[in-house]
Amino acid sequence: MKIYNLSITIALLLISSHCLIGQKLPDLIPFREKDLFGYCDSNLNVVIKAQYQRVHPFVEGRAIVVIDNLNGFIDPKGNQVVPCIYKFASAFSKGYALVGKSRQEARYINKKGETDSKKSNIGPAPATIDMGSGIRDRRIGPVKEGRYFYRGQNRTEGYMTVDGDTISSSEYKYPYHSESYSTSDNYDHKFQHFFESRAIVSGVNGQGYIDLDGYLVIDTVYDVAFNFKEGRAKVKLNGKYGFVDTQGNIIGEIKYDQACYFYDGMAQVILNDKCGYINLEGEEIIPLTYDYWQGEQYSSFKNGLVRVRINEKFGILDRNGTIITDVKYDDIMPFSYKRAIVKLKDKMGLIDEDGNEIVPPVYDAYYRLDQFAYVFETSSNDRQYELIDISGKILMSKSKDRATKEKGYTSGIYKVWSSSGHYLIDKYGTKYLK
């Protein structure tokens, strides 16, 4: 039995489309039939009939399904392996899922639906769930490199191993955040964690680093210390910025007005409102001749490319210092999956990593769904939307219906909201709607 699209004729999937995307669709895809959901394959053959109030993608051979607002699990053959009796449920991870009839009764189950005595080894429950273990009161953030930051009842704090051994000394303090000119780089917000076997501590005279055993390996002499990345850490000393390696050796000179984290072996440095790039040895391999533009997310090399600004206009620079686009855009967003949004005269478009305009800048707004497709808004007045893949092919043209990327759905599968409800569409433009 097949499902069919009432609004368009299903076309054969082109071989070229598969080459472009480079990733196959999942074996089972949720589809909608009236107000119920089931699963079909990529050829629209019904595998599990529409019978559920809501459904989720398959993860580790199990999918969450909802009946009467209660969650359970089915296998790929449609067998109800865990009954729909839980108020909440998480997808399986490493063979276990967190379920509960209330937030106070959370527990881990295996793929047969059985409570497993190994649940304590799976990791802490979400912060809103009290598992009665006291972990929520002591552990701060995730385990990294076998260590986590804790805070005790007597305001003691430091680092502990997953086996419960305290490794850090009470003579140090542990910064909650770092001074930074950038709020766009995630590394500036991830403190009280180990990065590349080093964690930041504060001493009497400044900040330095401890190793995984809690020993001070870089003296607390810096005004501000930042997290390690690519074997280098940004430090501030006497109002200037530079870099050190994991042994505390200074790389290049500490002389810059600002500096960014390393990406792809290169870091942006700023001096006298001009910026350029250094390599891991601290050598200025791209001269400081470009106009300074704040924000590490936008100014760091990723996949060998970075945006630069000259006289209020933006272009793209490669690792050799060659401009690969005309420096004409009013703005360029960071590259993601080899594509970047550009803005020209308040209109949005899309370029590839060679600087080619895949989608011309004629749209009022955009929204990236995933690595395969974008939604572009054709008019902010009447809100017409187009679904466009990364090759520039229009998958759904000028419609009031808007495609969204729902949490949990596999990449390449999107939910489309229409006046009659919602349905799914894939990265080839195939609609899963009866």
Predicted confidence (pLDDT) per residue in 254-305, tens digit? 999 999 889 889 999 999 989 999 999 999 999 999 987 666 566 777 778 8
- Phi and psi, residue 16, nearest 5°: -65, -30
Strands 431-432 vs 394-399: parallel, antiparallel or unpaired: unpaired
Cα separation, 229 vs 399, whole angstroms: 44
Q: Which token pair is 145?
A: 């490199």
> Tokens 């530079």 correspond to what residue?
242
Q: Which token pair is 59?
A: 């993860």
Using an 8 Å Cβ cutoff, are 308 and 260 in contact? no
Say how many C-beta atoms besides its own lie within 10 A of residue 345's C-beta. 8
Closest alpha carbon to 98 in 73, 61, 134: 73
pLDDT for the residue 5: 46
pLDDT for the residue 222: 96
pLDDT for the residue 423: 86
343, 349, 353, 354: CA torsion to nearest 10: -100
pLDDT for the residue 306: 86
pLDDT for the residue 8: 28
pLDDT for the residue 1: 61
Say if pTM beats, i.e. exceeds, 0.85: no
H or E element that contains 16: helix 15-21
Say how many C-beta atoms besides its own lie within 10 A of residue 192's C-beta. 20
- Phi and psi, residue 299, nearest 5°: -115, 15
Residues of the chain short of pLDDT 50, as ranges, are 4-22, 118-137, 183
Count the residues in the chain.
434
pLDDT for the residue 184: 53
pLDDT for the residue 418: 81
Listed in sequence order, the residues at least 6 apart from 161 whose beta carbon sits closer than 8 Å to its beta carbon are 146, 147, 167
Using an 8 Å Cβ cutoff, are 375 and 365 in contact? no
Cα separation, 125 vs 94, whole angstroms: 14
pLDDT for the residue 140: 61
Using an 8 Å Cβ cutoff, are 25 and 410 in contact? yes
Using an 8 Å Cβ cutoff, are 41 and 28 in contact? yes
Q: Would you give the DSSP letter of residue 303?
A: T
